[in-house]
Amino acid sequence: MFSKEKIVQLEVQDVRYPTSKTLDGSDSVHTDPDYSVAYVTLTTGTGVSGYGITFTLGAGTDVVVKAIELLKKKVVGKSIHDIFTNYRAFYRSLTQDSQMRWLGPEKGIVHLATAAVTNAVWDLAARLANKPLWRFVVDIPVEDLVAMIDWSYTSDVISETEIVEMLSEGQSGKEERIKELEKDGYPAYITSVGWLGYSDEKVKRLTNEKLGEGWTAFKMKVGISQEDDMRRAELIRSLIGPDNKLMMDANQIWDVNDAITRMKQLKKYNPYWIEEPTSPDDVDGHAQISQALREHNIGVATGEMCQNRVMFKQFLKLHAMQFCQIDSCRVGGVSEVLAIMVLARKFGVPVVPHAGGVGLCELVRHYSMIDYVLISGKMSDRMCEYAEHLHEHFTDEAEIKNARYVLPYKPGFSCEMKKEAVEKYKFPDGSYWQN
């Protein structure tokens, strides 16, 4: 089933976009991000390439690059067959290296590096199988797929037998759901109207523009000045009307009690969720906030900085997240994201992926498709984030039609960047940074 061609090379590049100049992506704690990627290229002996990224905010991408170089020897010399016939062992060779695990384990820079490498491995595998990633995944026999994933530290909430049963049930109606996605795509919401560094004028213009395109769910950044947040929320709510969804994102700026106090004031604008109200590590804090806001019908969303399945397990079990925001680059790659989506299904929490950045929209749409086809089988209470930046640098751009993600069809995991983009923005020697 899997290709036996050996991977003979792993190359990695530091690619940075000067987004801090326009304040695209600016929020309460990330005031001047330069959206960037560590970009991995794997090449086989016959010259087939697979591509992987991890997303960063600029400074330190070179450190991630160095961490990726350290992982090179775990990949080069192996074939997709070698890797995928015992993927769990391959994954653990990256995350549980006896010396390197001290640097994490399963968190921070080494885990971002792991994601870039495994994203490239899955991209290559899907290309060799001539399928888009989502299709490649849903076509793997359920028992094989479950055996590929590292479930360590999760057996207190779910057994592998239960997971196999759950996913086997998900096989019924699979082709119908795929047809539905082919026809109508997957629901999306838009973030790029309300970055914190944008003027009211710009927010107004962008919101009207997006309303005109058919968008029905909008996210704004909050967190520094309550007065500004109230004014901006009033502005956006007045533009989108009472029926469209408005989400708020605090990017971790508050302590628990601040979050509760401030959201109780902001509730008059009927927010659908508050995202990252406090530290991404604070399960108990999120549980307190969730409980306090439940009566106001405000959910708590988090996950883009949640480091691994062990943290997600606790957030889910302890009712600390009502929306599960998987990220495609933070948690070590495809198998770990699948583990988290299975846990979310177990606890009945909808998956609403984190996107934006560079390439994140391109990647996460595959996960929403997998969630619908194979895992939750639900779409009505879900949506996948979208932001309008930097898509043009990818060879398989995320496509939106009627404010919904179009089902990707090109082989691979959509991580490949255009050669001219890499040449221009690679850091520090690309033509953009040299000028």
> What positions carry a catalytic annotation?
221, 354
Q: Which of 76, 103, 178, 230 binds a second copy (CB under 8 A)?
A: 103
Q: Which amino acid is at 13?
A: Q
Q: Which of 279, 378, 423, 424 binds a second copy (CB under 8 A)?
A: 279
Q: State which residue, 115 or 240, has the beta carbon closest to a second copy.
A: 115
Within 185-224, the residues that bind a second copy by CB under 8 A are none
With CB under 8 A as the rule, give the number of residues binding a second copy: 63
CB of 13 to a second copy, least distance (A): 16
Listed ranges 106-114, 221-229, 373-381, 400-408: which one lies at the site for a second copy (CB under 8 A): 106-114
Answer yes or no: are the C-beta atoms of 423 and 429 closer than 8 Å: no
Q: State which residue, 34 or 371, has the beta carbon closest to a second copy.
A: 34
Q: Which of 24, 34, 249, 275 binds a second copy (CB under 8 A)?
A: 34
Distance, C-alpha 197 to centroid of its chain: 23
Report helix angle 61-71 to 108-128, nearest 10.
60
Q: State which residue, 125 or 259, has the beta carbon closest to a second copy.
A: 259
Distance, C-alpha 354 to centroid of its chain: 4
The answer to the question of residue 324 lying near a second copy (CB under 8 A) is: no
Q: Which of 267, 317, 346, 424 binds a second copy (CB under 8 A)?
A: 317
Query: Which two structure tokens, joined as six digits, stand for 369?
Result: 């498709």
Q: Which amino acid is at 381?
A: D
Half-sphere exposure in the Cβ direction for 166 (13 Å, CA): 21
Strand 36-44 versus strand 49-56 pairing type: antiparallel
Q: State which residue, 65 or 233, has the beta carbon closest to a second copy.
A: 65
The answer to the question of residue 46 lying near a second copy (CB under 8 A) is: no
Listed ranges 24-32, 166-174, 193-201, 422-430: which one lies at the site for a second copy (CB under 8 A): 24-32
> Alpha-carbon distance 365 to 342, whole Å?
17
Comparing CA positions, the residue from 1, 47, 14, 86 lying closest to residue 433 is 14
What SS3 string covers 362-381?
Answer: HHHHHHHHHHHHHHCCCCCC
Within 156-185, the residues that bind a second copy by CB under 8 A are 156
Query: Which two structure tokens, joined as six digits, stand for 199?
Result: 């003027």
The answer to the question of residue 106 lying near a second copy (CB under 8 A) is: yes
Q: Which of 11, 43, 49, 60 binds a second copy (CB under 8 A)?
A: 60
- Sign, CA torsion 48/75/413/342: positive
Answer yes or no: are the C-beta atoms of 14 and 345 closer than 8 Å: no
Distance, C-alpha 136 to centroid of its chain: 18
Q: Which of 1, 8, 70, 89 binds a second copy (CB under 8 A)?
A: 70
| Contact string (CB under 8 A) for a second copy, positions 114-153, x = contact | --------------------------------------xx
The answer to the question of residue 288 lying near a second copy (CB under 8 A) is: yes
219: Cβ contacts below 8 Å, ≥ 6 apart: 189, 190, 191, 193, 194, 246, 247, 248, 249, 275, 385
Residues lying near a second copy in the complex (CB under 8 A) are found at: 29-34, 55-60, 62-64, 66-67, 70, 96-112, 152-156, 252, 255-258, 278-285, 288, 305, 307-308, 310-311, 313-314, 317-318
